[in-house]
Chains A and B, each alone.
Chain A
């Protein structure tokens, strides 16, 4: 629940409600990007973010996303459990 998992925003689902598809490892699911909708960290298609419980919470660069992904792979089970839970998610 507290793991921030890196994903790339790949397409809009519902721009009015700030819902976009994010690619996280081999999972592609809708997330809410409304908390990064304005200011210097405003995100769009192609940007990398850290996702917590279905919400993009921080904008990061690609290098940080890759390093975090490798770190999470090393962490093992907690990351795989988080990905399995994300897989079961169907945010609208």
Chain B
């Protein structure tokens, strides 16, 4: 219980943990998936699982945007970056992701002009400052970051900036959740819904989880107490036989989401017929591409992108980690040949990846996680 003291209110956490334990039906095992990588990080860092009764297992989901990009897309990114005409701009998280032949950082060492940016608007500024170069922005992320790419595209069009383009890899969370629900590998009892994605999409898109699969989902914040309260609300629904979308994070998430952000996305992007996810394979209508009106700013139209499909390294089990089928420490290469310094898979690269989070904090975790780690 030592982690309780780190919580905003240790007393509230203790009381919540007791109430959760009181809702457990004897003999029943509960698998609850936290969809978002931010939750995974907080859960490991603060040892949330150690506050839960043994019957409740938290399963880590696919909501880490760095983790779900398949190796082929990373190869494509590097192919674009190696063109001497191009200044390739990317969030820092993608720099170290291994592709077939090294990472973007390795490409930079080989002479590619790869620059880390904080925002797509920084990429647009670089395009303004370098009118004789082609500036490509590597756009990744769920609905949390998609609006920023959309607004940047609108700005590029309004200003007539012609040497800027976007390599779009934005993914959408709902088809990924549906794919996991349809997978025979995993039987879940409920979801901790992603907080920041929901500030954009709102609560309504999750209703199918309750209606079609009879499961509860509680959109939750990122602090340990938020996660605990989210678990409590799911357990309460289960004990009362309810399956509803509830919002624990109402201090930030509006039920309708952010209509301005959704409009910006709709103006600039549309669904792809299908998109490959690392570990989950091809999922129909699960990612966005630029609309035809924005072809001029679409790196996949403007540049030569190889588009080759590449299988993950055999030793890497990121796919099973992303589907929640295995825990990070159950992967054969976890902590041995795959570490944050020398990652084989994406889940070990991003701080939101389950493997990196467990590697960094797991050793500080309590009884249950430690026992699991030596199994």
Contacts and interface: CB of A to CB of B under 8 A. Distances in A.
Interface of A: 1-4, 17, 32, 34-39, 41, 50, 52-55, 57-58, 60-61, 64, 67-68, 70-71, 74-75, 77-78, 81, 85-86, 88-92
A74 B6 contact: yes
Given A53-B148, A75-B42, A77-B351, A34 B260 contact: yes
Contact of A58 (B41, B148, B199): B199
B161 to A, nearest CB: 12
Nearest to B256: A39
A52 B42 contact: no
B260 A38 contact: yes
A4 B196 CA distance: 8
Nearest to B124: A92
Interface residues of B, number: 47
Interface in B108-139: 116-122, 125, 128
B306 interface: no
A92 B351 CA distance: 29
B118 A89 contact: yes
A80 to B, nearest CB: 11
A63 B38 CA distance: 21
Contacts of B66: 1
A53 to B, nearest CB: 5
Say what secondary structure dominates the interface of chain A: mixed
27 contacts: A1-B66, A2-B38, A2-B141, A2-B144, A3-B38, A32-B148, A32-B151, A35-B260, A35-B264, A36-B260, A53-B91, A54-B120, A54-B121, A54-B122, A57-B196, A57-B200, A57-B261, A58-B258, A60-B251, A64-B251, A71-B223, A78-B41, A81-B92, A88-B116, A89-B122, A90-B122, A91-B121
A54 B137 CA distance: 15
Contacts of B254: 41
B119 A53 contact: yes
B8 A53 contact: no
B98 interface: no
Contacts of A61: 251
Q: Lowest 9 A-B CB distances belong to which pairs?
A: A54-B119, A89-B118, A85-B118, A91-B121, A55-B148, A78-B351, A1-B91, A53-B119, A58-B199
A52 B117 contact: no
B368 interface: no
A17 B155 contact: yes
Contacts of B252: 50, 58, 60, 64
A37 B155 CA distance: 16
Contacts of A71: 8, 222-223
Contacts, number: 120
A68 B125 CA distance: 30
Contacts of A4: 144, 196
Given A35-B151, A55-B151, 16 more contacts: A1-B141, A2-B141, A52-B144, A52-B148, A53-B148, A54-B121, A60-B252, A67-B8, A67-B223, A71-B222, A75-B41, A78-B41, A85-B118, A88-B118, A88-B122, A91-B125
Contacts of A88: 116, 118, 122
A57 B260 contact: no
B251 A53 contact: no
B93 A1 contact: yes
Nearest to B120: A53
Interface string B215-248: 0000000110000000000000000000000000
A31 B125 CA distance: 13
A89 B145 contact: no
Given A1-B93, A2-B352, A75-B42, A54 B118 contact: yes
Contacts of A85: 92, 116, 118
